[in-house]
């Protein structure tokens, strides 16, 4: 009887989630049927803009299958780190997709939204923040990546922070930090879009699909962009691919930068590649954001998680896949010999909800860099700066103090100049 009641609770959560506003908003004009199965039960849910209904299990082109114990953890209102992401559980074999797996990936956005809605929980829309006051401009930058007109945004005053977004994304990831924290009252936050990203132009003379990136070329771009903007010795801030990039940049150009805050970076990364990211039979404006949205804490403010999803939905053709290919080339072993006690401080931060670069991965990175520190962020995930900027600002503040304490003269001079 207890097992029957538990299964009934799971199916009730899924059925409730199927009729949620978040699911209906993502539906195409027609119906979509998705199957779900557990310990001795199976249902098919017909998703329709007019309202969800049930059908015979055989009507579903694909079925998401897991033991009830897994469903219980996945459907918790506040799931544990690692259990918030359906995609992670599928890719690690904890959850199995039976039937047409291609259809599953074409409709992953609906299944994920259904599960999130079925949880209930306490993630709310954020309050209206202060208006965005960033000033944008363009600079022509020639680097190892080619020549492009680069979009730059600046906001605030004080010591300069040059911030770089995650793979496939752009400067908009930093808007929340500008509007929902007081960082810009003490620092000038400067963000740039890589070529082919955000509002930067493609590199001149190249065709769509030819975008390529390597760790060394990324560092060259960072140096050339800092020169073009006129930054004296900024502190670098980056997450994920950019988190690895700022480590590479400080290692190879220790006198150019005051230090770095590296988020969600490890010694190397090996679990992000997939042929799905270049598939032509799957809508990449729906799949790419699903590759990322499950890496955040579901309790982070809904509006900011939506911004992350939306940012990835509007990325350029092939950009995310090419960036991931670059990220897979990152290997600390190639630059670790460049570090010594005189290298500017690198503050490593890691969100507990990141399943791609775990806190243990980041902790091992920091342990191999002589002048570094490590802090875990239990409430955050792979996009700490974007999913909950107000909370991330507290960790960033402390990290910047650690960088400053290692190079007090550099940041103190900048502080005095800004007064």
CATH number at residue 284: 3.40.50.1820
pLDDT digits 0-9 by tens, 353-365: 999 999 999 999 9
Element (H, E) at 195: none
46 belongs to a structural domain = yes
The total number of structural domains that make up the chain: 2
Which domain, by its residues, includes 18?
Answer: 2-119
CATH number at residue 19: 3.30.1050.10
87 belongs to a structural domain = yes
Strand partners, 146: 143
Give the residue from 119, 153, 178 where a domain finishes. 119
Query: What is the predicted pLDDT for the residue at 30?
Result: 84
15 belongs to a structural domain = yes
387 and 280 within one domain: yes
340 and 229 within one domain: yes
pLDDT digits 0-9 by tens, 376-397: 999 999 999 999 999 999 999 9
Q: Is the pTM of this model over 0.75?
A: yes
256 and 322 within one domain: yes
pLDDT digits 0-9 by tens, 329-350: 999 999 999 999 889 999 999 9
Mean pLDDT of all residues belonging to the chain: 92
Burial of 263 by CB count in 10 Å (0-12 exposed, 13-18 middle, 19+ buried)? buried
128 belongs to a structural domain = no
251 belongs to a structural domain = yes
pLDDT digits 0-9 by tens, 94-140: 999 999 999 999 999 999 999 999 998 665 656 667 899 999 999 99
86 belongs to a structural domain = yes
Average pLDDT over residues 270-288: 89
130 belongs to a structural domain = no
300 and 343 within one domain: yes
283 and 195 within one domain: yes
Burial of 207 by CB count in 10 Å (0-12 exposed, 13-18 middle, 19+ buried)? exposed
């Amino acid at each position: 009887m207890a097992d029957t009641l538990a299964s009934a609770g799971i199916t009730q959560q899924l059925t409730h989630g199927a009729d949620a506003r978040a699911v209906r908003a993502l539906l195409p004009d027609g119906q979509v049927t998705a199957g779900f199965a557990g310990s001795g039960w199976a249902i098919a849910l017909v998703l329709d803009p007019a309202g969800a209904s049930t059908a015979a299990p055989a009507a579903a082109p694909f079925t998401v299958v897991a033991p009830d114990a897994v469903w219980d953890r996945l459907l918790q209102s506040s799931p544990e780190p690692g259990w918030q992401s359906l995609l992670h559980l599928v890719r690690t074999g904890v959850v199995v997709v039976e039937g047409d797996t291609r259809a599953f990936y074409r409709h992953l956005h609906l299944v994920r939204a259904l599960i999130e809605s079925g949880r209930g929980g306490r993630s709310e829309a954020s309050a209206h923040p202060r208006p965005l006051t960033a000033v944008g401009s363009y600079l022509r930058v020639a680097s190892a990546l080619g020549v492009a007109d680069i979009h730059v945004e600046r906001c605030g005053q004080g010591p300069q922070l040059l911030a770089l977004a995650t793979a496939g994304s752009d400067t908009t990831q930093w808007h929340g930090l500008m509007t929902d924290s007081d960082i810009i009252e003490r620092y000038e936050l400067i963000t740039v879009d890589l070529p082919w990203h955000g509002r930067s132009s493609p590199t001149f003379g190249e065709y769509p699909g030819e975008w390529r990136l390597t760790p060394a070329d990324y560092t060259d771009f960072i140096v050339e962009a800092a020169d073009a903007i006129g930054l004296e010795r900024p502190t670098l801030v980056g997450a994920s691919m950019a988190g690895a990039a700022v480590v590479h940049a400080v290692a190879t150009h220790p006198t150019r930068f005051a230090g770095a805050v590296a988020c969600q970076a490890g010694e190397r990364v090996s679990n992000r590649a997939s042929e799905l990211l270049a598939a032509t039979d799957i809508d990449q404006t729906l799949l790419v954001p699903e590759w990322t949205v499950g890496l955040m804490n579901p309790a982070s403010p809904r509006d900011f998680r939506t911004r992350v999803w939306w940012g990835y939905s509007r990325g350029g053709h092939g950009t995310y896949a090419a960036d991931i290919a670059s990220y897979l080339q990152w290997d600390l072993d190639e630059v670790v010999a460049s570090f010594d006690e005189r290298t500017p401080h690198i503050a490593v931060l890691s969100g507990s909800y990141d399943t791609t670069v775990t806190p243990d991965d980041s902790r091992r990175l920091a342990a191999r860099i002589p002048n570094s520190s490590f802090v875990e962020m239990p409430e955050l995930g792979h996009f700490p700066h974007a999913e909950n900027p107000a909370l991330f600002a507290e960790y960033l503040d402390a990290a910047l103090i650690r960088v400053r304490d290692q190079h007090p003269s550099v940041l103190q001079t900048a502080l005095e100049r800004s007064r």
